[in-house]
Structures are given as C-alpha cells and as structure tokens.
Amino acid sequence: MFNTFLDVKPEVAEAVRAGGPVVALESTIISHGMPYPQNVETALRVEETIRAHGAVPATIAVIGGRLKAGLTADEIEYFGKKGRAIAKASRRDLALLCARGEDGATTVTTTMIIAHMAGIKIFATGGIGGVHRGAETTMDISADLEELSKTPVMVICAGAKSILDLGLTLEYLETKGVPVLGYQTDELPAFYTRRSGFGVDYRVDSPEELAAALKTQEAMGLGGGMLVTNPIPEEYSMPPEIINAAIDQAIAESKAQGIKGKETTPFLLARVAEITGGDSLESNIRLVLNNAALAAETAAVYSRLN
C-alpha cells in the first residue's frame, strides 16, 4: 500500500486503514519555526490538540533517509534539538535526502506529498508560502503553490504568511485552479492578523461544509488540493500597523544581508519575532493550535462521510 521509502507510525497506519480521522503536521515549524525547547513543547501541544478534537496526529519528516508519517516523542525531541542543522526539504530535495540517508524538515509542499503517500487527506499548518514581495524581478515563488495545484490534500492554515505579496499569491492560486476557502470569513487572513483586504473564493462556516467540499472534489476527480484559511483568534491577532512595520524592517534587512531562497522565510519570521518582542511568536503558536483543532474536527466529519 505504501511507498517503499515511507515509514508510517503504526497508530497512523491503523487509523488510515480503518478510515479514521488523521491530521498531518509539518516538521519545519519544529526545526526552523522557533527555538528549543519551545519548538518541541509546541509540537507536542499541537498533537495533543488534535487528539482532544477526535483525530490522530501524524507529524511528518525525513529521518535517516526515510519518509516518516507520524513521529514519536523522541523523534520530535531529536528534531527540536537539532533545529536549523536539519535541511528544509522541498519536492526537489526528497530523492537526494533519501539516497544519502539524511534528515529533512518537511515544508507545506513535502508534508502534502508524504501525507498523500500515506493516505492522509487533511493537513494543518501555520501559514503557506506564496509569491514573495518583489517576485516580478526575483521570481521567488514558493513551491507550496504548485503543490496545492496537484496534490489532493486539504491544507488548513491561517492564510499566506504576511511577509508575502498576498495579492499575487491569490492570483497564482486562481491560475492554478486551487479553491481558497475562508473559514467563517469572507476575507483572506494574513497569518498574524485576521484581515488582509483581499477576498477569498468562498466562505465556509462549519467543519461539515469543509468535509463535504473535500469529499465532493475527490468524487468529481478534479485533482489538486484545497486551501482553507482560518483566521487567528481575535485575542491573539496583532495590529496590522505593528506587524507590517516589523515585516518591512525584516525584509529590508534580509535584502541588505543578501538572504535568498529557502533561507528567506525562516530569517524573516525569526527577525519579526525579535522586532515585536516575541509577540509574533506567541501569535504563531496560537494560530497553529487553532488550525489543528479545526483540522481534527474536519477530519472527524470526513471519516464519517466514508
């Protein structure tokens, strides 16, 4: 059933075989998203949140050249301690990492790929990558957008990261035929803040609607993923003027330091956290927990539809 390079945690494999609710989680947030030990504590809290809402968590990573769908607590600890020494793994990296027997922290792209291999339909993350500001000259566009167009996994996030060009990110998704759904909102959330000024394709107000949309897209054989944008809870939302000023400063610093490619997003998120005195990091944690809860509830409904 499973790819020969894939190891599925027994609990996850059993849930998939039984048609039970499973939620995939990425590992870049552990290795690159925040410092140790907060990264490990957050990863375990996210898994606990998924269990509390009726689903099985499957944190995804590459360890020793093996694609892992579901990590043990010890493996999460290992990732947290090793941190940024672990390579960020996008689609282009998987074959070489497996051939060399190396570790890789999965991004949205690779988490979708491995989740699909393992038969997992729903994935919770913080925010997706997208079209970076200035991409008309740099061509810096996240592979997440291309993966959403072809891999049939529902991704539940807090919108595109606000360090991006949100308008161009939506245009790219539209061109690729990816439905962008706003959970209880008509407006695209912007990661740290609930509003961006850009509209979503459709508003969806319940896990039942989300599960039905996913089931119908599969039944129609349309292929590709679905993007669900779930606003950060109001009490943790940051004022747009504060977060935007921090982002502008971080982007200016990244350009001055010549930071490019896969190092851009980790640098910007870390720098924004520093500039905001840690407020953005707390917001990041809260929005991930919020997305995990919605993903678990949606997975539970989806499993009943089967």
Q: Dmax over Cα atoms in the chain, in whole Å? A: 53
Is 297 part of the annotated catalytic residue set? no
Catalytic residue among 68, 88, 161, 297: 161
Is 161 part of the annotated catalytic residue set? yes
Please count the other Cβ atoms lying within 10 Å of the Cβ belonging to residue 11: 14
Catalytic residue among 26, 47, 147, 297: 26
The answer to whether the CB of 68 falls within 8 A of the CB of 62 is yes
* Strands in the chain per DSSP E: 6-8, 22-25, 56-63, 66-69, 87-89, 104-106, 122-124, 154-157, 180-183, 202-204, 226-229
Please count the other Cβ atoms lying within 10 Å of the Cβ belonging to residue 24: 30
Task: Tell me the C-alpha to C-alpha distance, in Å, between residue 258 and each of 162, 250, 251.
Answer: 20, 12, 11
Beta partners for 63?
66
Catalytic annotation, residues: 26, 161
